[in-house]
């Protein structure tokens, strides 16, 4: 077979369309050429493809997973501590992130991070780096899949080595933005407490001029909110701090958004900003449950995310499991269809890649994951519930293979 020849992957095929709808073929085909999807559908419909081009796979293909909020520099300490957010950051996380000043340290953990995430089926994501410019570049070079990355901007209220390493103004960010390009470099004020209103304003201007994405945290724990409001007495509420700085737009991705007022939710809806919904992290730190009913009612766009290292696992299957469990426990209807959609197509849209990835539409990148076939004849809903059952370690290694741009990256 020549490099440019198409390959028809034969297996089950599950393609998310909306939160409520997906398309399922028990015997499906995915035609891939030059790293792009040519066509997807029932295997029987591919009458024009010679047998020599068919690759049989034992399992079900789904689009590659997208994780829209993860801290790659916390991967090696993920899920280790359970305490309130502010205590956890100050006692464990910030001292740990200071280690990424060392290039060798950063290189080792970057390789481990991308090996683990691709093994778990994640083919795209948006990640927080430590403040260090070199660690960010190391991660960009080591990335497996399509990753947007930003170094955390922390000019104050953090340990001195991190504040010192942090960019102090937009001029310090410019070379990084240029090196990675505005489609890969994410402007990352870590959260309001780490930045002055003036710095955030200049970051908001830069986001508008460059077209880059913005990632930050919003309204995760009551203690955090209290500290933030003490630091910004002029603001109406937490969301208003970012809004005044011009940081809220359809290219903004806000982690958590748990304790928002109606005014704040309404502001996010008007700005078209995205929520990175991190149910496993919120469970681990006891932060609360995102008000999915209001988010749905106001039409605020959201996608799922692991938020490693507060989130105990980088597996998006684990995140989907906790998403279902958390909202079902509160008697809010959520389905496996929505869980898959929020971890694939919604994630791609959130990262500005809705035309590039996230489902099996013709022309998109051939990023996909092979999951174990059902043991007996069953509905795709029941199969998906079974796939999402089990312990965190089982979910991390459940995918049988991950393909990125049509190339197999990780196998069981």
Query: Please, what is the minimum distance in Å from the beta carbon of residue 194 to Zn ion?
Result: 12
359 binds Zn ion (CB under 5 A): no
Least distance from Zn ion to the Cβ atom of residue 71, Å = 6
Count of beta carbons in the 10 Å neighbourhood of residue 156: 12
Check residue 93 and report its DSSP letter: I
Report if residue 224 touches Zn ion, rule: CB under 5 A.
no
By beta-carbon proximity to Zn ion, the closer residue of 49 and 77 is: 77
Q: Which is nearer to Zn ion, 12 or 311 (CB)?
A: 311
DSSP string, 283-295: HHTT-----HHHH
Min CB(309)–Zn ion separation in Å: 9
**Minimum distance of Zn ion from residue 314's CB (angstroms):** 13
With CB under 5 A as the contact rule, the residue among 64, 121, 145, 255 that binds Zn ion is 255
Is residue 162 within 8 Å of residue 131, measured between CB atoms? yes
Q: Is residue 307 involved in binding Zn ion (CB under 5 A)?
A: yes
Binding window for Zn ion (CB under 5 A); candidates: 25-33, 59-67, 307-315, 365-373: 307-315
Residue 272's nearest CA partner among 247, 255, 291 is 247
CB of 306 to Zn ion, least distance (A): 9
Which residue, 243, 239, 167, is CA-closest to 199?
167
Rounded least distance, CB 75 to Zn ion, Å:
12
Asked whether the beta carbons of 242 and 251 are under 8 A apart, the reply is no
Number of residues that bind Zn ion (CB under 5 A): 2
Are 257 and 275 in contact, with CB atoms under 8 Å apart? yes
The residue range among 8-16, 179-187, 303-311, 319-327 that interacts with Zn ion, by the rule CB under 5 A, is 303-311
Q: How far apart are CA 411 and CA 340, in angstroms?
A: 21
Other beta carbons less than 10 A from residue 337's beta carbon: 19
Q: Which of 321, 225, 238 is nearest to 279 (CA)?
A: 321
Select 264 or 307, whichever has its Cβ closest to Zn ion.
Answer: 307
What's the min distance (Å) between Cβ of 190 and Zn ion?
Answer: 9
Nearest distance, CB of residue 77 and Zn ion, angstroms: 13
Closer Cβ to Zn ion, 220 or 338, answer by number: 220
Q: Which is nearer to Zn ion, 43 or 302 (CB)?
A: 302
Q: How far is residue 260's CA from residue 360's CA, in Å, rounded to a whole number?
A: 35
Q: Which stretch binds Zn ion (CB under 5 A): 31-39, 74-82, 109-117, 247-255?
A: 247-255
Give the residue from 188, 192, 193 showing the smallest Cα distance to 207.
188
Q: Which is nearer to Zn ion, 218 or 241 (CB)?
A: 218
Taking the complex as a whole, how short is the minimal distance between the CB of residue 215 and Zn ion, in angstroms?
A: 9
- Choose between 116 and 359: whose C-beta lies nearer to Zn ion: 116
Shortest distance, position 280 Cβ to Zn ion, whole Å: 12
- Do you know the residue count of the chain? 412
- Residue whose CB is less far from Zn ion, 43 or 242: 242
Give how far Cα 299 sits from Cα of 134, 153, 155, 234, Å.
39, 30, 34, 29
- Nearest in space to 22 (alpha carbons), one of 56, 55, 61: 61
Nearer to Zn ion, 13 or 254 (CB): 254
Choose the stretch contacting Zn ion; rule: CB under 5 A; options: 252-260, 296-304, 336-344, 387-395: 252-260
DSSP track, 295-350: HHHHT--EEE---TTTSS---HHHHHHHHHHHHHHTT----HHHHHHHTTHHHHHH
Angle at 293 between CA 287 and CA 297, to 5 degrees: 135
Q: Which run of H or E residues covers position 100?
A: none
**Closest CB to Zn ion among 69 and 342?**
69
Interacting residues with Zn ion (CB under 5 A): 255, 307
């Amino acid at each position: 077979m020549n490099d440019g020849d198409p390959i028809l992957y034969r297996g089950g095929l599950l393609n998310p369309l909306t939160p409520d709808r997906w398309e399922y073929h028990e015997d499906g085909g995915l035609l891939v050429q030059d790293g792009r999807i040519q066509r997807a559908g029932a295997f029987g419909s591919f009458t024009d493809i010679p047998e020599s081009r068919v690759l049989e796979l034992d399992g079900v293909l789904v689009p590659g997973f997208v994780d829209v909020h993860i801290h790659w520099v916390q991967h090696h300490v993920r899920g280790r501590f359970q305490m309130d957010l502010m205590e956890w950051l100050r006692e464990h996380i910030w001292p740990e992130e200071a280690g990424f000043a060392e290039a060798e340290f950063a290189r080792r953990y970057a390789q481990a991070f991308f090996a683990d995430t691709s093994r778990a089926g994640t083919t795209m994501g948006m990640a927080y780096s430590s403040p260090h410019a070199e660690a960010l570049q190391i991660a960009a070079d080591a990335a497996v899949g399509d990753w947007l990355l930003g170094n955390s901007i922390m000019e104050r209220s953090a340990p001195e080595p991190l504040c010192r390493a942090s960019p102090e103004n937009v001029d310090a960010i410019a070379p990084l933005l240029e090196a990675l390009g505005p489609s890969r470099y994410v402007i990352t004020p870590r959260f309001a407490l780490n930045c002055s209103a003036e710095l955030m304003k200049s970051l908001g201007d830069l986001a508008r001029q460059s077209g880059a994405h913005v990632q930050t945290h919003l309204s995760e724990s009551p203690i955090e909110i209290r500290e933030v409001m003490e630091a910004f007495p002029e603001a109406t509420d937490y969301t208003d701090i970012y809004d005044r700085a011009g940081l809220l737009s359809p290219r903004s991705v806000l982690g958590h958004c748990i304790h928002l007022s109606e005014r704040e939710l309404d502001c996010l809806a008007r700005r078209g900003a995205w929520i990175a919904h991190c149910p496993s992290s919120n469970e681990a730190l006891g932060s609360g449950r995102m008000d999915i009913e209001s988010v749905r009612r106001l039409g605020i766009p959201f996608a799922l995310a692991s938020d490693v290292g507060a989130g105990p696992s980088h597996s998006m299957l684990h995140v989907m499991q906790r998403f279902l469990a958390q909202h079902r426990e509160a008697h809010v209807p959520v389905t496996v269809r929505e869980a898959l959609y929020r971890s694939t197509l919604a994630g791609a849209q959130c990262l500005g890649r809705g035309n590039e990835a996230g489902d099996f539409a013709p022309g998109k990148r051939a990023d996909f994951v092979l999951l174990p076939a059902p043991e007996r004849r069953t509905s795709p809903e029941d199969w998906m519930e079974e796939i999402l059952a089990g312990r965190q370690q089982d979910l991390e290694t459940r995918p049988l293979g991950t393909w990125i741009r049509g190339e197999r990256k990780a196998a069981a």
